[in-house]
Amino acid sequence: MGLLFFALFTPSLSRAESVDGHRARVVRAASRLEPVTGLSPKIIIKEDDAQSAFVLPDGAVVISRGLLATTSSDDEVAFVIAHEVSHIIARDQMGPAAKLTGLSDPANLQLGEMRADASAVAFMKKAGYSPEASIGMLKRLSVNGVNLSSRITAISNLLGL
């Protein structure tokens, strides 16, 4: 297995304990996904209450503590990691180059998210996770005002639900 690196920004003991619990779940999921995806990215857990995950230009995956706190199972953590690894494989983290080519317009961004979801579901199945967990997680994130209905529908259709 490749090296997983975690940058932990923990200003208080209670938050440090929270991050340690999340870190264990991330390590378990990343370890199970690596043989399936062929990647072992550097993973950074960001001390932030925002619910976000993204890939840096160097291929490192950043997952906020806030997003990890919304996950209710290892399956959901696996979805987050598999989704971000899918972006790495598709080279969606191109940054400034995406703006120059028009790849950063909303329609292309939505398509990229849906492609990453589909790849993540496939990776989850191969790694022995329940891909249906992705739907529950996206539904919880939708409660916070983010419209994820098209992604939820696409995954549901993909899974035959």
Q: What are the phi and psi torsion angles at 120 (to 5°)?
A: -60, -40
Kindly indicate whether the domain formed by 13-159 is annotated with CATH number 3.30.2010.10. Answer: yes
8's tokens: 């932990």
- Residue 83's nearest CA partner among 139, 50, 41 is 41
pLDDT at 105: 56
**Contact indicator for 53, 80 with CB cutoff of 8 Å:** yes
pLDDT at 18: 55
Confidence of residue 104 (pLDDT cuts 50, 70, 90): low
pLDDT at 147: 85
**List of residues 6+ apart from 14 with CB closer than 8 A:** none
Confidence of residue 132 (pLDDT cuts 50, 70, 90): very high
Question: What is the share, in percent, of the chain residues with pLDDT greater than 90?
Answer: 59
Is the per-residue pLDDT at 3 higher than 50?
A: no
**List of residues 6+ apart from 36 with CB closer than 8 A:** 123, 126, 127
Is the per-residue pLDDT at 7 higher than 70?
A: no
